[in-house]
Structure 1
Amino acid sequence: MWRQVARGALQPWSMIASRRSSSSSVSSTVNSILLRSLKEHYLEVSKMTPPPKVSPPSPFTIIKGALDHSGPVLKRTYGDEEISLFVMRLANIIPGGGDDDGDDGINQLFLHVNISKPGQKDALHFLCGLYPDALGIHSVSMRPTLENYGFLVVPTKYNGPVFQDLDERVRDALHGYIEERGINESLFPFLQAWLYVKDHRNLMHWFKSVGTFINKHKQASEA
């Protein structure tokens, strides 16, 4: 009788162990499928042909390490001014932005132009829309600048008037101001190609880092 009771008491533990074993097996299978898929896509992306190498228009130079951080891409001096350019795609600001516009989402870049002078705590900042054949100013403001990569700080004070509300002569003069410093559509081919390389590198890194995480989790569960 005691043997029967003991046998009955052990059954739930046996069932739990069996369920754990089954759950572990399913998890291992899912991990293997995911790892295989990640590897296939990683190899596929690695074979993508990069765009032809494009140099930035003179006198702009590429900032060392720009592909590895979110700071400025190009810089130049103009008299005593230090000019830094930041760039991003519309889709990086508004997810899905440009999806319904064919190539417009690809061919529309947002360009941040930061113009600083020695001894000045604030820099003149232009937010522009950059296209293959045009450049338009969205806003002009004064912003403080950090020393690291000249990264722009979000303004905490009055950010200036709406650009389109300015008098046409003022708008034209501001366009002339940045064009004199080489800020125009000639920057588009390089920045477009540069963003392609950066996006490709980020995608490769994503596949690799997710795969590494899953693989470590898989090894830990099998130990």
Structure 2
Amino acid sequence: MALRLTPVLRRAARALEDVDLIKALRSEINHELSSPSSFQDNSAGSPGDFAVDWDSAESQDVVLRRKLGSGEEVAVSALLGEILPETPSRPTYPREILMKVCLTKPGLSSVLQFDCRAQENSPFLISSAHFLRSTEHQSPSSYRGPLFSTLDPDLQNALEEYLAERGVDQLLVNYLLHHLHTKEQGQYVSWLQKLEAMVGQTADAAEE
């Protein structure tokens, strides 16, 4: 005959499972707080002439803007990409960053957008360059320009220099790498703490 648990025993069993989970969560939180990642020893750097326009604690991205004397505006939206493959020389920053660089000029309705990616100790790479129209809906079949890698190398270099002259350079990449990795770690710890609080509340209710 199978043993049937009473409601009290079932609650006690669930409470024990919750206690194990809480212990695991606290261990992970303590590890994150007491063993800072290697990148936290690095200088945060500076965004240069860019100002932070958006950086919510709830979002994964950050948006920077700067306005040139000519009235031209440069906006950079960045977030973390995939975890990089492991290598013998472990990188300080384990993930790459994905950037959208948008340029607007007075009197022009088109927005020139560069899709870029960058990782530690490597120059940022442009994946594509295409035009957007803020007042028109673009269909999925709209021509977005050629693959950047198929352009003449001299033209690729000239476009990279074009962005560098507007402050989208290695110094900005270094700032974004540090800022976004630090932000992501803080969000992870916050998520662990919220999960611990919720599970702990459930465990307390089960003991009553």
Please give the TM-score of this superposition, normalised by the length of structure 1: 0.72
Distance 1:159 1:64, change over 3 A: closer
**AA paired with 1:191?**
L
Using the alignment, how far apart are the partners of 2:26 and 2:134 within structure 1? 41
41, 50, 53: which one aligns with 1:60? 50
More off after superposition, 125-134 vs 57-66: 57-66
Give CA deviations for 1:91-127 in whole Å, capped at 9, x if unaligned.
2xxxxx4233454672643222122345655422111
Task: Tell me: higher relative CO, structure 1 or 2? Use CA pairs within 8 A at least 6 residues apart.
Answer: 2
- The CA deviation at 1:60 is 1.9
**Structure holding more helix per residue:** 1
**AA paired with 1:215?**
G
- The CA deviation at 1:137 is 1.0
The alignment status of 1:159 with 2:144, answered yes or no, reads: yes
Using the alignment, how far apart are the partners of 2:98 and 2:139 within structure 1? 18
Identity %: 19
The alignment status of 1:99 with 2:85, answered yes or no, reads: yes
Using the alignment, how far apart are the partners of 1:110 and 1:128 within structure 2? 6
The alignment status of 1:189 with 2:180, answered yes or no, reads: no
**Structure showing greater Rg:** 1
- SS of 1:138 mapped into structure 2: strand
- SS of 1:209 mapped into structure 2: helix
Using the alignment, how far apart are the partners of 2:183 and 2:45 within structure 1? 15
Using the alignment, how far apart are the partners of 2:25 and 2:54 within structure 1? 31
Q: How many residues align?
A: 198
Aligned residue runs from structure 1 range 169-180, under 5 A: 169-180=154-165
1:127 is aligned to 115
1:150 is aligned to none
- The CA deviation at 1:54 is 2.3
Using the alignment, how far apart are the partners of 1:19 and 1:135 within structure 2? 62
How large is the Cα RMSD of the aligned pairs?
A: 3.1
- SS of 1:134 mapped into structure 2: coil
**AA paired with 2:73?**
E
Q: Kindly report structure 1 stretches of 4+ aligned residues shifted beyond 4 Å.
A: 118-122
2:100 is aligned to 112
Q: Which runs of 5+ in 1 are unaligned?
A: 1-14, 92-96, 147-152
